[in-house]
Chains A and B, each alone.
Chain A
Amino acid sequence: MAPASLRDVALRAGVSVGTVSNVFNHPEKVSAAVIARVQAAIDELGFIRNDAARQLRAGRSKTIGLVVLDVRNPFFTDVARGAEDKAADAGLTVILGNSDENTDRESAYLDLFEEQRVHGVLISPYGDITGRLDRLRQRGIPAVLVDRSSGDLSFSSVSVDDHAGGRLAVEHLINRGRRRIAFVGGPMQLSQVADRLDGARVAVAAHPLVSLETIETDALSVLAGRAAGVGILARAVEHRPDAVFAANDLVAMGVLQALLMQGSAVGVPEQIALIGYDDIDFASAAVVPLSSIRQPSALIGQTAVELLLAQAADAEVAPRQVVFEPQLVVRESTGG
C-alpha cells in the first residue's frame, strides 16, 4: 500500500500540487481557506505523519541538527552523546551531519536542516557560515556554535579556550626540557588549529632557546599524523624535533604509529616527546599512553543544547558564549 502523496492531498482538496507545496513552504502565499481545505484533506487521508504537515501545526520539528567536522573523531561523538542526552530530557532527538571538513557538505547539511525546519542547529563550523546562520535565525531556526567561539558575539557558542590549551601543551614540553618543538596539524583555516598554534607560539616566545616549527597537515586524522611522522623520520637525526605537539589526538596517534612502527630507533618520549589534544578514550590505551589536553566533550554537547533551547524558547534572549578551560593530562608520552 503506497502512502498518500502530495498529489492525493491535492486531489482531495481540489487544488494543484503546487498549492499544497505552498501550504507547506510558503503559507503566506496561500489563503486561509485553502490552507484549511488542504489541512482537512491531510487529516482525512490519515497518511503517515509527514513532518511538513505536522510542522504546519506545530511550527517546528522535534529534531536538533548537529553538524560535526569529523564523525570519526571520538571527540565529536562524545560531544554528540552529551547533546543527545540533554536533548532527550527535553523530548528532542539529534541528527548528525558529517561535514568532513568540506564546505560544500557543510552547506548541504545546513540546507537540509533548514528544509526540515529543525528545532535548531548546532554546528562546529568549517567555512565562514555566519551569513547562513543569520538566515536560519531569520527563519526562526536558532543556531549555536560548538567548539568554536562566536567572533562578534552574535551567536551563542560553547568552546574551549584553545589558545590556553596550546600554551599549556607547549609549556609542559618546555618544562620537560624540550627545545625543538614541532606543531603538527591543519588545515590552518580551522580556528581550533590556528588558536592552538597561537597558544604554542606564546609559550615559546617566553623562552629564547626554544624553537617552534609548524608541520601543516591537510586534515586532523590518524593518516595525516602518520604521514607527518614518516616525514620527521626521513630527516637526519639532528634535524628532527625533540618534541611534537599534535593538534588533536588522532594526529598524535598517527605520529606515534609512524615513529614506533617504521623499524626506527626513535623512542617516545626518549628522543621525541609527544602530546595530543582532546584526551579521547584511546589516548590512555595507546602503545605509549598519550599526554593530552582534555576538553569536557560531553559537557560541551550538553551546554550547547541548553543554550539552543534558551534561544528556541525566546528568540530575543541575548546570545551567550560559554568558554571552558582545558586541562593538561600527563602520561608517558611526555615522560609520565
Chain B
Amino acid sequence: MSVSRVGIREVATLAEVSLGTVSHYINHPDRVSPEKQERIQRAIDQLGFVRNNAAWQLRLGRSATMAYIAPDVSNPFFATIAEGVEQRAAAEGFSVFIANSGRSRAREDAYLEQFEAQRVQGLLVASHDPIEERLLQVRQRGTPSVLVGQRAVSPLQPSVSIDDVTGGYLAARHLMDCGRTRIGFVGGPLGIRQVADRLEGASKAVAEDPAVTLEVITVADRTIAEGRTVAAAIAQRPPASRPDALFAVNDLLALGLLQALVVDHGVTVPEQMALVGYDDIEFGESSIIPLTSIRAPHEEFGIAAVELLLAELSGERTDAPRHVVFPPSLVVRESTVRTRQA
C-alpha cells in the first residue's frame, strides 16, 4: 500500500488551471467547461491518481484521515480492534490517527475538538463517559462518527458494540454450571455502560438459582494493578467468607487477580476460586493459568466500525442498520475448569 502524495495542487499545475477549478471539477463539474474537465481528468490519470481517497484529497487538498479516540490504548483489546480499523481504513486509502484519552473526560474533549479542527473525515470514538450528545454536535457541524464499544441510543448515531448483557450472563452462568455458589463480580465504576451491562447479565444468571449469591466488588480502574489490589483484599478475608468464583469485567483485572491470588496469596485457581475474564486478549491464553474469558470479535469489530463510517461518509441513504451488535461467546480454559495436572 502506498499513499499517493499527489494533491490538488499537482493536478492543478499539470492541468494549468486554478486550484478552485479542480475543486469545482470534483464538487460541481457542471461549473467547469468541458475543455477544462478534460484537462483535469487527463492530469488526474497521468498522475496515477486513481486511489479511493483521490476524491477526498482533491476536495480537501490534503490526505484522507480518520481518527480513533480510545480510553486506554494499553489494553490489548484496544490494540486488536485498532488492527481491524487500520486494515480496513488502509484498503480505502485512509490513514488512522490514534488518540488515547486516558479515561479522562477533559482529554477526550480536547481530542474531539482537535480532530474536528484538523478536519479529519470521520471519528471512531470509544468512551467510558456519556458521549452521544457531544458526538451529535460534532456531527451537526459536519464530522460524522461511529461510537465504538457501546450501543448508541440515538438511531442516527452509528455504533458498533458487543451484547454485554449476554456476555455477563454467559460468564456467571458458566461459573454456576461449574458448581459455584458465591460469585464475586469485580468491576466498576458502575456508571460505565459496559460495566453496568455485564453486571446486569450476571445478575440475570444468578437470579435463576436462589442458592447462588452475587457480591459486587467495585473498582475505580480496570487494570492489572487494580486486580492485584482486589486480590489482596479478598485474600485477607477468612476463607469461609471469600467468594468461590470471580467474574472480572475485563481480562486485565482478571490477570492481576489471578497472578496475585496464585503467586502472592497461595489461593488455588480454579479449585478454591474459579475466575472468568472478559475480552479474551491474547495474553489470557498464555497466562499463569490459562484464563477463561468472554470473547468478542476482534478484527471484525474494527472492520465493522470503519465500514459504518465509510457508509456515513458516502452520504448515501441505505437500509443497512446503523447499530452493529456482535454476540459474545464463552471461551473455557483452566481458570474455571482444570484439565491437566499443574
Contact = CB atoms under 8 A, between A and B. Distances in A.
Given A3-B142, A48-B117, A95-B97, A287 B19 contact: no
Contacts of A305: none
A116 B118 contact: yes
A96 B259 contact: no
Contact of A287 (B3, B256, B289): B289
Interface stretch (B57-65, B161-169, B195-203, B204-212): B57-65
A72 B1 contact: no
A224 B49 CA distance: 35
B119 A256 contact: no
B286 A48 contact: no
B288 A49 contact: no
A334 interface: no
Interface string A74-107: 1001101100100010000111111010101101
A237 B177 CA distance: 42
Contact of A96 (B1, B61, B73): B73
B18 interface: yes
B83 interface: yes
Nearest to A286: B286
B99 interface: yes
B242 interface: no
A105 B1 contact: yes
Interface in B269-295: 282-283, 285-290
A99 to B, nearest CB: 10
Given A95-B99, A97-B98, A111-B5, A17 B19 contact: yes
B3 A111 contact: yes
A284 B259 contact: yes
A102 B287 CA distance: 30
B2 interface: yes
Given A51-B117, A84-B102, A97-B98, A21 B287 contact: no
A2 B18 contact: no
B80 interface: yes
A80 B73 contact: yes
A287 B286 CA distance: 5
A84 B106 CA distance: 13
Contacts of A289: 263, 288
B44 interface: no
A18 B16 CA distance: 13
Interface in B71-117: 73-74, 76, 79-80, 82-83, 86, 90, 95-100, 102, 107, 110-111, 113-114, 116-117
14 contacts: A21-B9, A48-B141, A49-B117, A77-B73, A93-B99, A93-B110, A93-B111, A95-B98, A108-B63, A112-B95, A285-B224, A286-B288, A287-B290, A289-B263
Interface of A: 1-3, 6-7, 10, 16-18, 21, 48-51, 54, 62-63, 71-72, 74, 77-78, 80-81, 84, 88, 93-98, 100, 102, 104-105, 107-109, 111-112, 115-116, 222, 253, 256-257, 260-261, 281-282, 284-287, 289
